[in-house]
A and B are shown apart, each in its own frame.
Chain A
Amino acid sequence: MKRRHFIRNTLAASVAALGGVAALQMYQQNQLDYSETENLGFLSKDDQVLLSVLIPVFTSGIPQQPSVAITIANIDKAIMLLPLRTQDELRQLLDGLSNSFGRLILAQVWVNWQAADVSQVNQFLDSIREHSIGLLQDAYVGLHKTILGAVYAEADAWPTIDYPGPPF
């Protein structure tokens, strides 16, 4: 089975486990707002909406919240430097989360991504971090690395961890 199909089937199974009908109804009731998205090299508008939900949740403990727009721009630049094979994998992951099945999983957890409750998204991340399906654990690690790597690369995050930055 091709990886792309595997992701789709895996997500579909997860939706079923979560009770997909209710989720489908919720999904159909909610439209996404693309007004804050940019034309970037790799990340589509759907990807940006997804990340704009996930970034504040990954970083919710940081007293000084990072800029979502800068973080997304940094992530995009970094992805453009990755080998094409890795870019393909990221595309499949992000599509998997943004396509109908992915949205269904997410919709099960919150009604509208952009009005999401942080604790519910946190639970979603907790669940994929511990998921018995390796692919979903990989998705967690991929999102974690991508988002938190980009956040702590910026000087804005440093005072919160008592890091003074380079000496000159």
Chain B
Amino acid sequence: MTISYPNTTNFSEQTPPQSITVDLVVVGSGAGGGVAAEILSRSGLKVLIVEEGPLRTSADFKMREKEAYADLYQEVASRQTLDKSIQILQGRCVGGSTTVNWTSSFRTPSQTLDYWQSEFNLKGFNREALDPWFAWAEQRLNIAPWEVPPNANNQKLADGLDALGWSHQIIRRNVNGCANLGYCGTGCPINAKQSMLVSCIPEALKNGAQLFSRARVESLIVNGAKIDGLWLSSMDKNGQVKQKRVTKVVAKHIVLSAGAIGSPAILLRSSQIDRRSSLGKRTFLHPVSACIGRMPDKVNAYQGAPQSVYSDEFLWRDGVAGELGYKLEAPPLHPTISAIMLRQHGDKHFELMKDFAHFHASLALIRDGFNSESVGGEVSLDSYGYPQLDYQISDMTWRALKDSLLKLTEIQFAAGAKGVLPIHMDASFYGSWRQAEKAIKALPTVTSRFQVMSAHVMGGCHFGGENSNSVCDSSGRVNGLENLSVMDGSLFPTSLGVNPQLSIYGIVAKLATQLGKELGANPPEDLVRIADMIS
């Protein structure tokens, strides 16, 4: 099936317009921007979508890490926190991270929603109010439990959990006609993944929206309590600023969906924006620990749906606000990402790499932000005006990271691993669970040695009710500004405890429908019905 992208302008290759006037501009084309652009364009508004990354489609997706990391990821897939302690995988292309994610789809857990209500005074985001929006997104993006047997890598996780009597479930995925290839992370070559790239963005364009790619928002034009528009810079083919302030966009309303690092950065780059709130703060990452198990048989962890099994056995292990819990999943392994993870050189490195086909990998993502000791990171700007994230790993997070390594190791041995390697610079392959347990307990919890990863960036413009020091109100409006909204994962006041895409889809569907009504437009009937039913 060919998908068309009319009304697009590539700022690195085409001449940008000097100015453009629209009803509404959506900044970013990922999970938040995609849904917002579809709903608001279907409401009859003249919408412009601005994306700093390139427009790449299935014809460009060759299932090779080299091209994919360069074309589709922030900072060639090597974005990291300021002290280099956490490696962050994040998309930078049309479709944002949805173009490269592993398709795992979860509704926001009730515990998380309850916490937002009690701690951030957030109204209207409880289970009953949100489930119809999640149901809409699930239908729109074909989200359903994965019915094909899990690949060997995920099956090992299930086997280990079974052997220990711990629970696991099947992951729901946003795919349609998936061929079980295993290359979701390099862009789906057959348009089976229902990312924003193949769903909401083309739908918005069909409804008359325009798309500027390789265009970055330099700053908002603030005029008292109102935003008059914004300035765009053009980007070159290397993703560097080509020309600053090349296009002026005038819009009645601005929606920021540039992600939890990008959206706060735009606000920080704009003068006259109130800095007293939590702007840029409370940025959460689901810090991830990982282990590799050497299996007697080949696992070929690059093959098949990358994620299909998960366990919440330890997600709420000490209650919502106690010691940080974690979700267990399996990540795919491809050559480059594996080679980078194994921090050895020469013979020692190849000694590890030669067993690549026998590697089974599993990970734990830590649910950060649910405790006064887990305050997250802070986005600021470097001397080039480019965002940087300072995330200090708290003692509580270290405890969770280490505890999760112990569990991952135990599970891998229970699944039949002959050796297990925790991803830590002072670890090596351990031959038994007892040996591993003793060694892991002694591993130093310091940033330079413990290899921590993340693929989920949340917060930085969190919403909340009165006295919550929030950046946005419960409609997503930036406090104190009439016509500026945030609609992406940066709204979340904590991490989620689940992979974020479906939470973003559902919550933004609610906020965008509400905004469409407020602007006097005509949001799609099915969405208006949901909005009316809940209110």
Chain A residues proximal to chain B, CB less than 8 Å: 57-62, 74, 77-78, 80-86, 118, 122, 125, 129, 134, 137-138, 140-141, 144-145, 148-149, 151-154, 157-158, 160-163, 166-168
Complex: how many Å from CA A70 to CA B360? 30
Please encode chain B, from 310 to 335, with 1 for each CB lying within 8 Å of some chain A CB and 0 for all others: 00000000000000000000000001
Complex: how many Å from CA A51 to CA B448? 23
**Chain B residues with CB below 8 A from A163, complex form:** 302, 335, 356-357
**Chain B residues with CB below 8 A from A61, complex form:** 346-351, 353
Total A-B residue contacts, Cβ distance less than 8 Å: 117
Pick the contact of B346 from A118, A140, A160, A168 — CB < 8 Å? A118
B357 & A161 in contact (Cβ 8 Å cutoff): yes
Pick the contact of B70 from A60, A81, A122, A168 — CB < 8 Å? A81
Complex: how many Å from CA A161 to CA B74? 27
**Chain B residues with CB below 8 A from A59, complex form:** 346, 349-350
B335 & A157 in contact (Cβ 8 Å cutoff): yes
**Chain A residues with CB below 8 A from B383, complex form:** 85
Rounded to whole Å, the gap between the CB of B453 and the closest CB of chain A is 13
B353 & A161 in contact (Cβ 8 Å cutoff): yes
Please encode chain B, from 274 to 312, with 1 for each CB lying within 8 Å of some chain A CB and 0 for all others: 000000000000000000000000100010000000000
Complex: how many Å from CA A144 to CA B239? 24
A58 & B349 in contact (Cβ 8 Å cutoff): yes
B346 & A84 in contact (Cβ 8 Å cutoff): no
Chain B residues proximal to chain A, CB less than 8 Å: 62-66, 69-70, 75-76, 78, 84, 181, 183, 189, 238-240, 298, 302, 335-336, 338-340, 343, 345-351, 353-354, 356-357, 382-384, 386, 388, 425, 448
Pick the contact of A138 from B339, B349, B357, B448 — CB < 8 Å? B448
B357 & A77 in contact (Cβ 8 Å cutoff): no
Sample of 11 further A-B pairs with CB below 8 A, known A137-B448, A144-B343, A145-B340 = A57-B346, A60-B345, A61-B346, A85-B382, A86-B75, A153-B64, A154-B66, A158-B335, A161-B357, A168-B63, A168-B189
Complex: how many Å from CA A167 to CA B238? 28
Rounded to whole Å, the gap between the CB of A54 and the closest CB of chain B is 9
Question: Which residue of A is nearest B87, CB measured?
Answer: A145
A153 & B65 in contact (Cβ 8 Å cutoff): yes
Question: Which residue of B is nearest A122, CB measured?
Answer: B346
Complex: how many Å from CA A160 to CA B338? 14
Question: Which residue of B is nearest A135, CB measured?
Answer: B448
**Chain A residues with CB below 8 A from B64, complex form:** 153, 166
Given A57-B345, A81-B76, A84-B386, A166–B63 Cβ distance below 8 Å? yes
Question: Which residue of B is nearest A119, CB measured?
Answer: B346
Question: Which residue of A is nearest B388, CB measured?
Answer: A85
Rounded to whole Å, the gap between the CB of A12 and the closest CB of chain B is 22
Question: Which residue of B is nearest A147, CB measured?
Answer: B345
B340 & A149 in contact (Cβ 8 Å cutoff): yes
**Chain A residues with CB below 8 A from B448, complex form:** 134, 137-138
Complex: how many Å from CA A157 to CA B338? 13
Question: Which residue of B is nearest A57, CB measured?
Answer: B346
Rounded to whole Å, the gap between the CB of B91 and the closest CB of chain A is 14
Complex: how many Å from CA A137 to CA B426? 13
Complex: how many Å from CA A80 to CA B239? 9
A167 & B63 in contact (Cβ 8 Å cutoff): yes
Rounded to whole Å, the gap between the CB of B46 and the closest CB of chain A is 33
Complex: how many Å from CA A83 to CA B385? 11
A-B interface, 9 closest residue pairs, ranked by CB to CB distance from nearest: A61-B350, A166-B63, A153-B66, A152-B339, A161-B356, A61-B347, A162-B357, A152-B335, A60-B346
A129 & B347 in contact (Cβ 8 Å cutoff): no
Complex: how many Å from CA A82 to CA B76? 7
B386 & A162 in contact (Cβ 8 Å cutoff): no
Interface centre among B65, B238, B346, B383 (most CB of A within 10 A): B346
Rounded to whole Å, the gap between the CB of A131 and the closest CB of chain B is 10
Pick the contact of B336 from A84, A118, A153 — CB < 8 Å? A153
B384 & A84 in contact (Cβ 8 Å cutoff): yes
Rounded to whole Å, the gap between the CB of A46 and the closest CB of chain B is 21
Pick the contact of A141 from B66, B84, B348, B349 — CB < 8 Å? B84
Interface centre among A81, A138, A145, A168 (most CB of B within 10 A): A81
B354 & A145 in contact (Cβ 8 Å cutoff): no
B384 & A85 in contact (Cβ 8 Å cutoff): yes
